[in-house]
Amino acid sequence: MAILERRELGNTGLKLSCLGFGASPLGNVFGHVSHADALAAVRLALQHGINFFDTSPYYGGTVSETVLGNCLRELNVPREDIVVSTKCGRYIDGFDFSAERVTRSIDESLARLKLDYVDILHCHDIEFGSLDQIVNETIPALQKIKAAGKARFIGITGLPLGIFTYVLDRVPPGSVDVILSYCHYSINDSALLDLLPYLKSKGVGVISASPLAMGLLTDNGPPEWHPASSELKSACRAAVAHCRKKGKNISKIALQYSLMNKEISTVLVGMNSPKQVEENVAAALELSSLGIDEDLLHEVEAILEPVKTQTWPSGIQQG
């Protein structure tokens, strides 16, 4: 069986499969997922060499963490064979980036995941908190969690790219090991590209999530809660229809586009079934052997050009 490429994550020494398993769908956020499907998806991912699994207490109000933990336990996966990340500060009932809450949060997450430690603990969607609190209170609390051996590395996540420079310019070097950016490295929005030299200069590893733009670049389309404008949704629908008319799958080329940039250590895709794992692994392997369908890519890029890098507001106004 062909195995997926592994890439180094910043200065962490971790080697991640270029395709990572986003476990938010296991929290039923894109529709109900049976335990059998979840287990089969995780099993197949492991068989194909996917070693990176990302979750959060927020996804499905802790359901994603519990389901992922159950699957990893049932499959008896050797701990050193996988890289597991979870998050803190964002919960189904709101945001709390206080030192007290995040310190409690990691213990709750470890219990649900049935693990002694996570490889990466991210502050989840920090633009919804005070960035100065993140710098002065949350990151120092996460350093203590790291020192206690409950998390090997610390990360920050969120949508607006400015949050990463704000925090990284203010914390001691080495206190944030990775960033997780989403919806900024897909065919319709590749704004993350401009930030990559800065992140490299800081020695910070880069995880890019949502290559399918949280469902916009899929045949099924986005979930109802998707925050994109109707203009962006309709341009993506046109791109999907174009691919379908040509007998092509938009998700395949969208994923391949994100995987092409090797400065990005891993691309996290949300997967809820063995079929999706199979398709996404096949897309990644085909990219390594045959490259991308350049003609189709140019056609899709042309359709999405009028909405290129169009994003949506996220978070609170920072004081």
Distance between CA atoms of residues 260 and 279, nearest Å: 17
Which residue, 12 or 85, has its beta carbon nearer to ligand NAD?
85
Q: Which of 51, 62, 188, 210 binds ligand NAD (CB under 6 A)?
A: 210
Q: Which of 192, 211, 236, 239 binds ligand NAD (CB under 6 A)?
A: 211
Instruction: Please tell me whether residue 68 adopts helix, strand or coil conformation.
Output: helix
Q: Which of 113, 31, 115, 101 is nearest to 64 (CA)?
A: 113
205 contributes a contact to ligand NAD by CB under 6 A: no
86 contributes a contact to ligand NAD by CB under 6 A: no
89 contributes a contact to ligand NAD by CB under 6 A: no
Considering only residues 47 through 66, tell me which ones interact with ligand NAD, judged by CB under 6 A.
Answer: 54
285 contributes a contact to ligand NAD by CB under 6 A: no
Which of 59, 182, 185, 257 is labelled catalytic? 59
Q: How many CA atoms lie within 13 A of 181 on its CB side?
A: 27
What does the per-residue mask of binding to ligand NAD show for 244-283, with x meaning CB under 6 A?
A: -------x----------------xxxxx---x--xx---
Least Cβ distance, residue 183 to ligand NAD (angstroms): 7
Burial class (CB in 10 A: 0-12, 13-18, 19+), 81: exposed
Which residue, 20 or 49, has its beta carbon nearer to ligand NAD?
20
124 contributes a contact to ligand NAD by CB under 6 A: yes
Instruction: Answer left, alpha or beta for residue 208, where phi above 0 means left and psi between -120 and 50 means alpha.
Output: beta
Q: Which of 37, 65, 125, 293 binds ligand NAD (CB under 6 A)?
A: 125
Instruction: Please tell me whether residue 279 adopts helix, strand or coil conformation.
Output: helix
Angle between helices 274-290 and 250-259 (to 10 degrees): 60
Active site residue 117: no
| Cβ within 8 Å of residue 21, ≥6 positions away | 41, 42, 45, 50, 52, 53, 54, 268, 269, 271, 277
* Chain contacts with ligand NAD (rule: CB under 6 A): 22-25, 30, 54, 124-125, 157, 180, 182, 209-215, 218-219, 251, 268-272, 276, 279-280
- Residues serving a catalytic function are 59
